[in-house]
Amino acid sequence: MEAYNRLNDYYKKLFGERTLKICINGHFTCPNRDGSKGREGCIFCYNGGSLITGNSPKKISEQIEDFLLSYKGERANKFIAYFQEYTNTYGSIEELKKKYDEALNASPNFVGLDIDTRPDCINESVCELISSYNDKYHVFVELGLQTSNENTHRLLNQNITNDDVRNACALLKKYNIETIVHLMIGLPNETHDDIVKTVEFINELDVEGIKIHSTYILKDTKLALLYEKGEYIPLSKDDYIDEVIYILTHLRKDMIIHRITGDAPSSLLIGPSWANNKKVVMNEINRIMSYSNLYQGKYYRK
């Protein structure tokens, strides 16, 4: 028995074979950057250019062509179009449709559409559009929660509330759209108690999946300034691993685990240094869980 519901196994069940995501920069911005909610952005968010396509973002279809040309074709034949950067439901419905269509029409091998966004950028019209892809593709929406502590939301300058998250999840459920929430471990001023409360909050949401990230410090972010001033100390690898294991063992058993550690871009990473050694962290989590007979939901209580 696997210790937790792994994404690769879930994709195999859904699509019949190994399936990969193609990360896309959809040239979106964010209400927390363009002034409609805020101008500064979240303090951990890198705003110095695209993490996917650098400073001169290519057309969506070109990004997909580039990926498929460089891709060796051995690992998967099916793909998910993953709109990853900034807020991918922030635009007019016409603009959103044009971008999603451009991606999905770029290859006949797409079987899914996955959209990262803010909870306050989900509304009826957006859900109606996204759910219209459900006939042909498996559709996922990912929401940036990070923590249920609203003091931390303010400190991170997220400009969201827990009610935004609850409302977005209820609306996505109404439209039968599979939902994934993001949680970050090691946020400034947070303690284990915040993780406990955030896990309880997520267990109560009607969502299907979770993505767990470490808080890493990227160049040119507000978090980097706090770190330089000694006002933020990142978590150690061992503490991170302990928190991930706590989360997995206290989460609902039905939840799909989309990620248990982040992928820090090494050219931008200031710290912690272990954050770009994803394999080591994952292997250690798997080793401890197997050795200690721990598994997802072992300590979950309604």
Least Å from the CB of residue 73 to ligand SF4: 32
For residues 193 and 149, the answer to whether their CB atoms sit within 8 Å is no
| Non-local CB neighbours of 238 within 8 Å, separated by 6+ positions | none
Least Å from the CB of residue 145 to ligand SF4: 11
Task: Decide: is 50 part of the binding site for ligand SF4 (CB under 6 A).
Answer: no
Task: Decide: is 218 part of the binding site for ligand SF4 (CB under 6 A).
Answer: no
In the list 4, 7, 33, 207, the residue contacting ligand SF4 (rule: CB under 6 A) is 33
Choose between 14 and 51: whose C-beta lies nearer to ligand SF4: 51
Least Å from the CB of residue 144 to ligand SF4: 5
Residue 7 to residue 254: CA distance in whole angstroms = 12
In the list 22, 45, 244, 257, the residue contacting ligand SF4 (rule: CB under 6 A) is 45
Task: Decide: is 91 part of the binding site for ligand SF4 (CB under 6 A).
Answer: no
Judged by CB under 6 A, the stretch of 41-49, 91-99, 101-109, 194-202 that binds ligand SF4 is 41-49
Choose between 11 and 86: whose C-beta lies nearer to ligand SF4: 86
Task: Decide: is 30 part of the binding site for ligand SF4 (CB under 6 A).
Answer: yes
DSSP 33: T
Beta strands in 40-156 (DSSP E): 78-83, 110-117, 138-146
Choose between 50 and 249: whose C-beta lies nearer to ligand SF4: 50
182: enclosing H helix or E strand: strand 178-185
In the list 32, 84, 179, 215, the residue contacting ligand SF4 (rule: CB under 6 A) is 32
Least Å from the CB of residue 225 to ligand SF4: 16
Chain positions 139 to 168 lying near ligand SF4, rule: CB under 6 A, are: 144
Residue 190 to residue 160: CA distance in whole angstroms = 17
Residue 127 to residue 123: CA distance in whole angstroms = 6
Residue 183 to residue 230: CA distance in whole angstroms = 24
Least Å from the CB of residue 195 to ligand SF4: 20
Chain positions 234 to 253 lying near ligand SF4, rule: CB under 6 A, are: none
Chain positions 109 to 138 lying near ligand SF4, rule: CB under 6 A, are: 118
Q: How far apart are the first and last CA of the chain?
A: 23
35: left (phi over 0), alpha (psi -120 to 50) or beta: left
Residue 103 to residue 106: CA distance in whole angstroms = 5
Tell me whether residue 47 is exposed, middle or buried, using C-beta atoms within 10 angstroms of its C-beta: 0 to 12, 13 to 18, 19 or more.
middle
The residues of the shown chain that bind ligand SF4, judged by CB under 6 A, are: 30, 32-33, 41-42, 45, 86-87, 118, 144
